[in-house]
Amino acid sequence: MSETTLKGKAKHNGSSNVILDVRDIYTYFKTESGVVKALDGVSFDIREQESVGIVGESGCGKTVTSRSILRILPKNGEVVAGEIYYRGVNLMDLTEKQMRHVRGKEIALLFQDPLSALNPVLSIREQMVDVIQLHRGVDEEEAANIAIKMMKAVGIPEAEHRIDDYPHQYSGGMRQRILIARALALRPKLLIADEPTTALDVTIQAQVLDIIQRMRKEYGLSLMLITHNLGVVSENTDRIHVFYGGRVVESGPTRAIFKDPHHPYTIALLESIPSFKKGKGKLATIPGSVPQLINPPKGCRFHPRCPYATDICKTRPPMEKIGEDRYVACFHVDTVIADRKNRLAKSSS
Question: For residue 103, what is the DSSP state?
Answer: B
pLDDT in tens, 134-144: 889 899 999 99
Q: Which amino acid is at 73?
A: L
- Residue 162 has φ and ψ, to the nearest 5°, of -75, -15
- Supply the mean pLDDT for the chain: 90
The CATH class that applies to domain 3-106+188-348 reads: alpha beta
Distance CA 190, CA 266 (A): 26
Question: Which residue pairs, CB below 8 angstroms and at least 24 apart, start in 3-7?
Answer: 5/98, 6/86, 6/87, 6/88, 6/89, 6/106, 7/88
Residue 11 has pLDDT above 60, yes or no: no
The Cβ of residue 311 has, within 10 Å, a number of other Cβ atoms equal to 8
* Residue 4 confidence (pLDDT): 42
- Cα 334 to chain centroid distance, Å, stands at 29
pLDDT in tens, 297-324: 999 999 999 999 999 999 999 999 998 8
pLDDT in tens, 190-214: 999 999 887 778 888 889 899 999 9
* Residue 13 confidence (pLDDT): 47
pLDDT in tens, 228-271: 888 899 999 999 999 999 999 999 999 999 999 999 999 999 98
Question: Strand, coil or helix: what is 36?
Answer: strand
224 neighbors 46 (Cβ within 8 angstroms): yes
Distance CA 48, CA 70 (A): 18
Catalogue the E-assigned strands of 175-238.
190-194, 222-227
Distance CA 93, CA 102 (A): 13
Q: CA dihedral defined by 201, 205, 207, 213, rounded to 10 degrees?
A: 180
211 closest CA partner among 178, 255, 234: 178
User: Can you give the C-alpha Rg of the chain in angstroms?
Assistant: 21
Counted residue by residue, the chain has a size of 349
- Dihedral sign (CA 125, 130, 131, 132): positive
Q: Which amino acid is at 122?
A: L
Which spans in 25-61 are helix H? Answer: none
108 neighbors 99 (Cβ within 8 angstroms): no
pLDDT in tens, 27-52: 999 999 999 999 999 999 999 999 99
CB contact set of 110 (below 8 Å; sequence gap of 6+): 176, 179, 180, 183, 191, 192, 193, 194, 196, 212
pLDDT in tens, 210-226: 999 999 999 999 999 99
Cα angle 240, 242, 245 (rounded to 5 degrees) comes to 155
Query: What are the extents of the domains in the chain?
Result: 3-106+188-348
Distance CA 124, CA 117 (A): 12
* Residue 343 confidence (pLDDT): 86
Distance CA 69, CA 94 (A): 12
- Residues paired with residue 47 on neighbouring β-strands, in sequence order: 18
285 neighbors 302 (Cβ within 8 angstroms): no
Q: Which amino acid is at 76?
A: N
48 neighbors 221 (Cβ within 8 angstroms): no
Q: CA-based diameter of the chain, in Å? A: 69
Query: Rounded to two decimals, what is the model's pTM?
Result: 0.90
